[in-house]
Chain A
Amino acid sequence: MPAPASLRVAFDIGGTFTDVVIAGADGQLLTYKILTLPDSVGADVGRCIADTERQRPESAITSLVHGTTIASNAVLEEQGARTGLITTAGFRDELEIRRLGRPGVYNVFWQRTPPLIPRRRRLEVSERLTVRGEVETPLNDEEVRQAILSLKRQGVEAIAVAFLHSYVNPSHEQRAVALIREVCPEVMVCSSADILPEVREYERTSTTVLNAYLMPVVGRYLDQLETQLRAYPPPLQIMQSNGGIMPAAQARRRPVHMIESGPAAGALAAAGLAREIGLAQAVAFDMGGTTAKGCLIENGQAVETAEGEVGAGINRAGRLSKGAGYALRVPAYDIVEVGAGGGSLAWVDAGGALRVGPRSAGAVPGPACYGRGGTEPTITDANVALGYMNPNSIAGGAVPIDAAAAQTAIETRLGARLGLSVHELAFGIHQVADATMTRAIRAVTTERGRDPREFTLIAFGGSGPLHAATLADNLGMSRVYIPLFPGVFSALGLLVADLRSDYVQSVPQDLDGVDPAALLQEFDTLADRAAQEARHERRERPGLTYERLLDLRYKRQSSELTLPLPAQVEAADIRQVLAESFHAAHEQTYGYRREDDTIAIVSVRLKATIRTQSLSFSELGGSFSQAAEKTAQPGSRRAYFGRQQGELNTRILSRSDLVEHAVAGPLIVEEFDATVVVPPRWQASVDAYGNIVLAKNG
């Protein structure tokens, strides 16, 4: 009997829908979109798998990969565990005070998100280390015991321990953790030196507290999911914020790494596609119902950052105003999110200017054109009024569209104030939304010293393909890819992810004085830890590879640039190689270098990766026949393209109609899960991978 063909299962659980994508060894994909019902989501995913198994009797499930918003939702909705914090005497309030900053400047009614742990459960103990890790005041065991008992009385499920300078010497934290395990074995515990051994106490403490806060919630969630999926033997794997996956066991210990699990999958999918089709520089653009997200892709990799905040609502393009949410310093894709999705509302401000978002009509009442009681105009209403979206129904007929309602909403809410026609207003909404999203894309390009004109846009998400071409125009980009399955594209990212673990260790010192052997030893120590953890999780696979990185800055700057340490560098050359690459990176990012200045190392980082069997987008092209079946009723309708072009007769086609030859805009491609707008002066074709390629003429 031949070995059963493998089936790889990916499922992305969002607030409204769960996307399930199952890939066969032959590249064929089966996709499911089901409603997210929290109590039975595992069972519902199981039913999708069972359905696939019925269609493919000679097959076996070989992997289960999961992307989820459970962690970010727990933070945003304050649904995490009751948690306690034990800190160095004098420092319990920093978690609440943060760095004293605030976002925005003129909002005197701003409300800070409450700390995840209230003051009554933040307790101090006597202990103090110096910057060099020497013990100045020994840890007082008795005070630790008292603190634990007090937290136990307050009913905590988890305790975080964060002491000053523990990144240099973790012994006090380790002792406190041992005491917690002894006094209160049922409580989950994590320490800052274990979660993030990195200098800067607020960021380290906040990250550790987030981890503790999530451990019980994520643990219970994974227990339930594993129970409901117990019929399938492969171990459950979880998408991290950085596009790597980790075994569920690791997710239970370090849930702080999966906060941006959902958005990361889309960026990873775009990066995988870019790598395979040979795009060195691309921007992933994911526009859904409430937000749009942008992520830079360079050399086939989504760009990462370790400076983030969670819980602050929408992550505006500006990065200077911190203090709204909770600091989070774990490697994550550098995804910028703005409040512009299909449901974002259009309005007129006091000065008479048209504004869009960040308020959204949400699922209820939704856009006016959905006919569920919405009366305020949204971006989706504008796209209907412009003739871009089907005026009768979308999603293969599942969602009826009331075009008249869209026009009425725009006319009554905006027309009277601005004195423009419905077409002009709708086009204005479209343009203002583009401007907001332009800011997001600029935040990940120009702000990083990258010229967007050199990049290709990869657009997906329910609304992305509607705005992709005009957004590209704004940014001077002349090429756009709309991948197959744009509506479930994020779930595909789960199928291209590698196993990954990240380690950091602060080792502050001037580069000039670095002992190369000692520095390399720091990396080796992290590598030993990575290998040990991999063994512990029984993933002793061949091909555990390491990438070594360093955080560097000119001495006394406030932030660092993270640079790779070349794999083959000779110990004797390390200082010089790092100095050269830092000067160059600083110049590229900020426009100048100071050759005569002291460079300081802040931290070393190790990225440990195990390659998995990846989805191939070229094989996916094999599914093209399935995706590209005639989705549109061929024909045409009137669509509006601005004052100069006016209303134009616009053809309606399916993706498969573009295979033979390129078609010039104006043109609309209707698919089951998305609508692609090809404005005049753009043309559309389909490449060998099934992507729609939009190209600017001339």
Chain B
Amino acid sequence: MAFDPILVEVVKNELAAITEEMAIAVWKTGRSAMVKTGDFATAICDGQGRLIGQGYAAPFQLAFFIAVMPHILKKYGDAFAPGDVIVVNDPYAGVTHMPDVMIIAPTFWKGQRVAFTLAYSHHTDIGGRFPGGFSSQCTETFEEGLRLPPIKLYQAGERNDALLETILANVRVSDEWLGDVEAKIAGCWRGEQELKTMLEKYGLDTFNSCCDYLITYAEKATRAAIKEIPPGEYVYEDAFEDDGFGSDGVALPLKVTLRAQGETLRVDFTGTGPQARGAINLPLSMTQATVYGAVKSIVSPEVLTNVGFIRPIQVVAPVGSLVNPRFPAAVGGRAPLFFRVFDMLFRALAQALPDRVPIPGEGGDVLHFTGEKEDGTPFAVMDIFFGGWGGRPHKDGIDGVAPMAFGSYGTIPAEMLEREFPLVVDGFGYVPDTGGAGKHRGSVSIYKQWRFLSPGKVMVRTNRLIRASGGLAGGASGSLSKNILNPETENRELPRKAHMHMDVKPGDRIHHIVSGSGGHGNPLERDPAQVLADVQDEKLSVGQALGQYGVVIDAATAEVKLPETEAVRATRLQPAAAAD
């Protein structure tokens, strides 16, 4: 078949529509808080298991399906039947931690396996020592919950009830667990129906050659985009401050070297420290996912999300390191390190493409709260939320939005949280004087204060408790994250641990502050009118307008004193850091 740019565009749109429909089925019928907030994705692979379309996936989820399919094919070969449904959550079989449970269903058409439909979502629990299954305080994956290698939950349409009963007996809030799995199966089956309709229209040969073209097209477009990176090596080093058990004197070395050469990009983590004792490690699939997501966001955002995109990108992650641990290292609490590596990749890319790289923003902080309601029924809730984007070349960050590593996540309304869980939200909003100063300011901090109405176990996951989000191009750092217990009474700062566990009693409050994000460019070059607007909106105090930006504002008249501002700015050389 000759290259037909029109048919390719038509099929591409249809595939996008199908994966979107799959995602809608998952989102609207799923039960857990994590599905509601958007921690899920759907995809289609062709009959060979090559990812050809992804619906509603966050950048960091881009490689999830690519990583899993080889394990599925290796195990089953051609032993698939119509009506099969495979379930898997094994971090050593391509999934990135065990609460993420993936469903994979083969699509058959005229007796032939022609495709796979896939859906994953983050479950509120997966059994194991700690509710939620993503505590960093595990040392082996066996502690982290129930590990499911690729196994058939349905065999030719028959449900394996023994398997299901076993799973449900091992997880907290089993009803919700099953609801989420059913939602994913519904999504996969919806995709299967739509694919068959599409095959009726075009036939298998045309479908397969379109898949080939779409994959080649993505590869070609990515190569063209990589070629725009000035050839060379770009190194960024950082350190991670938490080994899973705490942060006293911990500084785990992190290093990434990007080598752009012609149409290929090599991302090498050599120099990164050995795997940690606690569960903060990134399994290889997560490291790859982080690289692909970060590179795509900057280098080739328009390119299709299929397997062709990753071909020109090589990931080197030393075995036994923080970014490729050996089995059975625990990996459940991989998120904070993932955010850090994503941030590092942006900063390395910024050296190559200074005009195209923003500071990716902060958040992905989580409250996980479990216990029993007054009537004895168990509950588990995850409330995830974010800070905002850092400063960008030519633009401010955005105050309070899902970070660039994440997709279109959304918070659960306070009115729904309060209705479904023994929890009250006392407030949710901006914290002034916390955004990284810059010509283009980073997001201010977002706080959320929870009040607990039942006793229970709490885990708070917090990023950037010790190392701030730095500025770029002369911008200043944002402020740090913080957790405060009962601010109105004992007002005690909680330990600065990425995964902090505690028991709560009724009436306890946790006031959580997500870090501010770094600023971009010299703050002394920021337009005084923008500084004034921030002061009027109480995102910045008059004192910090002077301290961070050298802008003199008359508090009484809400006006910028320009001559004084120019005089102050002339005496400054270095930007000041944001207040903590």
Contacts and interface: CB of A to CB of B under 8 A. Distances in A.
B29 A446 contact: no
A109 B194 CA distance: 34
A271 to B, nearest CB: 24
Interface size class of B (residues with CB under 8 A): 35 or more
Interface in B12-32: 12-14, 16-17, 20-21, 23-25, 27-32
A130 B453 CA distance: 12
Contact of A112 (B32, B59, B385, B398): B398
A102 B179 contact: no
A415 to B, nearest CB: 12
A107 B398 CA distance: 13
B31 A556 contact: yes
Contact of A321 (B408, B413, B416): B408
B413 A131 contact: no
Given A102-B401, A350-B225, A442-B17, 10 more contacts: A93-B429, A97-B446, A106-B301, A351-B218, A438-B13, A554-B29, A555-B31, A556-B420, A590-B25, A591-B25
Nearest to A560: B28
Interface stretch (B1-9, B231-239, B311-319): B1-9
B186 A592 contact: yes
Interface stretch (A74-82, A198-206, A224-232, A539-547): A198-206
B416 A199 contact: yes
Interface in B414-444: 414-416, 418-420, 425-430
A137 to B, nearest CB: 10
Interface string A370-404: 00000000000000000000000000000000000
B416 A351 contact: no
A474 B179 CA distance: 35
B296 A106 contact: yes
B174 interface: no
B537 A320 contact: no
A109 B395 contact: yes
Interface stretch (A285-293, A428-436, A669-677, A686-694): A428-436
B189 interface: yes
Contact of A106 (B28, B32, B297, B537): B297
Given A91-B414, A97-B429, A558-B30, A108 B392 contact: yes
Given A554-B179, A558-B28, A558-B35, A105 B408 contact: yes
Given A323-B408, A586-B29, A354 B59 contact: no
13 contacts: A90-B427, A97-B400, A97-B401, A100-B385, A100-B409, A105-B57, A106-B296, A106-B302, A118-B537, A349-B221, A438-B10, A442-B17, A590-B25
Chain A interface SS verdict (over half): loop
B303 interface: yes
Interface string A595-621: 001000000000000000000000000
A200 B409 CA distance: 16
Contacts of B537: 118-120
Given A108-B392, A318-B20, A353 B401 contact: no
A352 interface: yes
A556 B176 contact: yes
B497 interface: no
Contact of B24 (A101, A319, A439): A319
B386 interface: yes
B221 A350 contact: yes
A428 B5 contact: yes
Contacts of A98: 410
Contacts of B218: 351
B467 interface: no
B434 to A, nearest CB: 13
A447 interface: yes
Quick one: which of B218, B404, B429 has the most chain A CB within 10 A?
Answer: B429
Contacts of B12: 353
Contacts of A109: 358, 392, 395
A92 to B, nearest CB: 6
A591 B190 CA distance: 7
A351 B301 CA distance: 12
In order of increasing CB-CB distance, the 7 nearest A-B pairs are: A90-B427, A93-B429, A99-B410, A106-B301, A351-B221, A97-B400, A119-B537
Interface in A492-519: 508
A337 to B, nearest CB: 16
A471 to B, nearest CB: 12
A130 B426 CA distance: 11
Contacts of B528: none
A322 B27 CA distance: 13
Given A106-B297, A320-B408, A322-B408, A199 B419 contact: yes
Contacts of A644: none
A443 interface: yes
Contacts, number: 226
Interface in A349-374: 349-355
Interface in B160-193: 176, 179, 182, 185-186, 189-190
Contacts of B217: 351-353
Contact of B13 (A202, A319, A435, A556): A435
Given A91-B427, A109-B358, A100 B401 contact: yes
B206 interface: no
Contact of B427 (A89, A108, A476, A559): A89
Given A97-B400, A101-B38, A354 B358 contact: no
A27 interface: no
A322 B410 contact: yes
Interface in A633-655: none
B21 to A, nearest CB: 5
A590 B352 CA distance: 47
A334 interface: no
Contacts of B179: 554, 556-557, 594, 597
Interface in A275-328: 317-323
Contact of A131 (B182, B402, B415, B539): B415
B415 A349 contact: no
A111 to B, nearest CB: 7
B247 interface: no
A125 to B, nearest CB: 13
Contacts of B428: 90-91, 93-94, 97
B326 interface: no
Interface string A410-452: 0000000010000000011001101110110011001100000
Contacts of A119: 430, 537-539
Given A322-B408, A591-B190, A100 B402 contact: yes
